[in-house]
Structure 1
Amino acid sequence: MTHTTSTWSPQVTDRVAPLLETVSTTSRSAVLVAGGYFDTAAGIGAFSLNSFALAQETGAAARRLHRGNKVLYDVIVNDLGMSCATDVCALPAAAGPAGIDLSPLTASAAGAGISFTVTRERNLRNRAARSMKRWLRDPAARPLFTREGDEIVFRSRQYEKVLAGVVTDGHVVPRCPLIVAEYFARYFARLRRAFPDCAHRHVVDINSLADRDKVTKGAEIYLRTHGTPEEEIVLVFADPSCVDPLALTYTAYDF
């Protein structure tokens, strides 16, 4: 993991400083902060509201580190009707309502004077499925993936086995690490398009402690298959209060 010492503004709080430890104070950076995650079955709860507040605090601190820094905010919504705390997604007894009420997050953003986008896991799953279906036709194009029977496995350097997907009737059903890798790909593509003149790109991804394995696996998949030297992923793990978050920074050189 990469660690760089920065000169901190007194306005940067102790809980946010570790999340931005590698952001330069001398050159422009593009930062996307993902907080506010929730699933439609449970709705917006304490973790979603508190992690979104932490995201806002992180973004504001990033702008103070360098006057040229650019910041985007995103909220990931699990609208799959699935539980993905492990590699294998499982349908609960009831998937919950189809509608998504974002008003608590919208009100929070308005109070902070920011805007945010929403990324739906259903769209990420479909994109990942299409990508892996192309891989089935040309496995040599992505040599870090192998097929073991009906399973598609990623050749991880930190886990004994990372299940990326399962082939069913000629279709690929992506598993959680592949869906996570897809949102990192989406985030960095947005930063490249929006801010091509920024020297560095960072994605700060705030997660619950229960999701540590799947997001770490997804970060490795993205960084080893698409990551560039200018890109860093900061995985943040917190309990529902988000008072004392743990930050782990990864680049392609860490795997």
Structure 2
Amino acid sequence: MQSDVRHKRFDAFWKRIELKVHRHPAIRNNRFCTWFSRGEANTAQVVHFLEQFAVFSRHFVPIQAKRVARSTNLASEKLARHILVNECGVRLGSDKSPENQTFRTEWAHIEWLRETCAPLKLDPERLGNWRTATPPTRRFLIDLEKVYGSLDWRIATGASYGIETWAAWGIGKGEEAESTNFWKQLIIGLKGYNTQQRLSVGLEPVPLGFFEHHFELETGHGENVYGELLETFSHPKFDEEKFVEGGRRALDALYVFWEGLNSVRKALA
């Protein structure tokens, strides 16, 4: 009987998650990535996107460090640390874990992005620099830090769920669903840019490895996120309202980032 009640409570909670988190426009209506996937971006638009994404990548590191410091159990602390060290340059093994793996500076994600931008002759000192960030990018990172690195673990866990759901959205659900995943959209868009703007005139293409790596990394992650949600829901001090608040606030921040990119790409058309 108690198990049935718990299942009914979780089913009701899951419906709230689907409504309040899964239907968030950062996941379902990313206007920049939808446009970018058409492969029609010009060089100025691609450069601006890569510059802002580099700021995101570099400044996500201290945000993730807060997630490590403020984890409430050993399992979540370990997972957060794995993400952090991978961002900083520890490669992942065949099991997608950084345990017992090698560190190299050039494997840090910001360094990988700098290498990605090399064919475009962008200043590596500028890439990832806070001064390069537009107001929407800065607002996104400041707001994300508040919620993702919150001292209230229920809000922080909700924020983590929102970000992880966004990153893995559609992967493994069939070709049509995967076409709505932002990593996939960026890969398709950069392939189109390379074909139209680089290879056609004898220029070196922009490497896709950084984006393809992250897409592959998310494969199968959606199921893990669901399992983690079930475990979190079972915690005696779990608070549905705060969890949903955390998820929505993280996605609100993320939406500011993408909408900022969408506004600038129109000006650069």
Q: Which has the higher contact order (CA 8 A, sep 6+)?
A: 2
Structures share fold, TM-score greater than 0.5? no
| TM-score normalised to structure 2 length | 0.26
- Structure (1/2) with the larger strand percentage: 1
Find the structure with the greater CA-based Rg: 2
- Structure (1/2) with the larger helix percentage: 2
| TM-score normalised to structure 1 length | 0.27
